[in-house]
């Protein structure tokens, strides 16, 4: 049977709009692991025109 997730999100905190993220910091959002390209705050992963976050794959 298929397993859920790959474990890449283990120990990574969920994204929060109130947290300031530096480049290379990671957060989980909507079942995916995301990595900030540069400093960001309140930019939703996958939902902004600034392309701040890189989707590293499903959790």
How many residues can be counted in the chain? 59
- Cα(18)–Cα(21) distance, rounded to whole angstroms? 10
DSSP SS3 for 32:
strand
- The tokens for 49 are 């025109």
Note the pTM of the prediction, 2 decimals.
0.84
Higher-confidence position of 37 and 5:
37
How far apart are the C-alpha atoms of 22 and 45, rounded to whole Å? Answer: 14
10-31 per-position pLDDT tens digit: 999 999 999 999 999 999 999 9
Model confidence at 7, pLDDT cuts 50, 70, 90, reads confident
Given a cut of 60, is residue 1 above it in pLDDT?
Answer: no
Asked if pLDDT for residue 36 goes beyond 60, the answer is yes
- Return the residue matching tokens 């540069």: 38
């Amino acid at each position: 049977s298929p397993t859920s997730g790959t474990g890449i999100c283990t120990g990574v905190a969920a994204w929060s709009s109130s947290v300031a993220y530096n480049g290379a910091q990671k957060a989980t959002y909507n079942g995916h692991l995301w990595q900030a390209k540069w400093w960001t705050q309140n930019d939703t992963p996958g939902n902004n025109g600034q392309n701040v976050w890189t989707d590293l794959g499903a959790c």
